[in-house]
Structure formats: C-alpha cells, structure tokens
Amino acid sequence: MNRDLYEQFSKIQWLMHRYYHKNMNRFSAVSDPHRGQGRVLKMLQLKHDISQKELSYLLDIRSQSIGELLSKLEKGGFIERTPSEEDKRVMLIHLTEKGKEAGENQFEINEIFSDLNEEEQNNLEDYLNRIIKRMEAYINYDENDKKAGRNRRHFERHFERRTRRNDREK
C-alpha cells in the first residue's frame, strides 16, 4: 500500500511539473500569478498606478529585485511608468493593453483540483500538510538553512533559463 502511494505521489509530481511547463510554454513567463513577473502583473490588476516602493512592499520583494522585474515587463511592453502628479520623483506603474491581456491569460492552478469538492480539497490539504511535516522532520528541514536556500535558488535559475529559452523559441 505505501509503495503504491509513493508511486502515485511520484506520478503526480511528474504530472504537475509537466502541467506547469506546458502552461508556461503556452502562456509565457508572465503567465504564472505566483512567481516573478506574473505576480507583478496580478498585483497591478488589483491596484492600478502604484509606486515601485509600494509594489515592493506589497509583494515582499526587495527593491532591486522588483526593479529588475519591472524593467523586463517594461521592455516586453506589459507596463508603463509615468511620473506621479503629486511628486514627480515618484514613478507610477500601470499596465498597458498588452499587460492587461497577459494578466487575463494567466493560467490557474485551481483547475487541477476541480474534481474535488471543497471538503475533499480541505482533507487533501490536511493530509499533505501532515506528510510534509513528517518529511521535513525526517530531513531536518529548515527554511533558513543556507543549503535549502541554495537549492531553491538553483531551481529558480533553472526555471528562468527555461523560460528565456521558451520565449526565444516563440
């Protein structure tokens, strides 16, 4: 029984990875509302004409990192920056038509769980949290662990390279 569950988890992990990359290939780097440029677009859909400082605060992203994301989005034609009328030193960020369209075409992960009703989703979340806690305890996982941070950054760099390659191929 445990081996079957493990194999099912392995298959789900593989399928989720494939699902994610299929959607990234279909939509582009700005399509994921949970990462990088996609998060910025999602926030700009919710809050129009926002300063870089406020955006950085709301998304909990360092100012330098948000600047880099905004430069990419501006270069791609997804956003524009205009001086604030109250304080010309402050640049307000807003979506262009292309940015609005990209924001509307973001893929949603919710469809993965659409075959489960709310109670089943809550139960699954509880089960997964218990499994995660057990695994974290077993491997002495610590989110502040430098090695864990390096591994996370390695994955993020891999993801960014793949995204750039996919964008070039389009």
In angstroms and rounded to an integer, the radius of gyration of the C-alpha atoms of the chain is: 19
pLDDT for 122: 94
Give pLDDT, residue 156.
64
pLDDT higher at 123 or 28: 123
Q: Mean pLDDT, to the nearest integer, of 61-70?
A: 88
Over the stretch 121-139, which tens digit does the pLDDT of each residue have? 999 999 999 998 898 888 8
Share of the chain above pLDDT 70, in %: 71
Going 112 to 159 to 46 to 74, the CA torsion angle's sign is negative
Q: What is the pTM of this model?
A: 0.50
Torsion of CA 81, 92, 59, 101, to 10 degrees: -50
Domain boundaries 24-107, CATH class? mainly alpha
**Furthest C-alpha separation in the chain:** 65
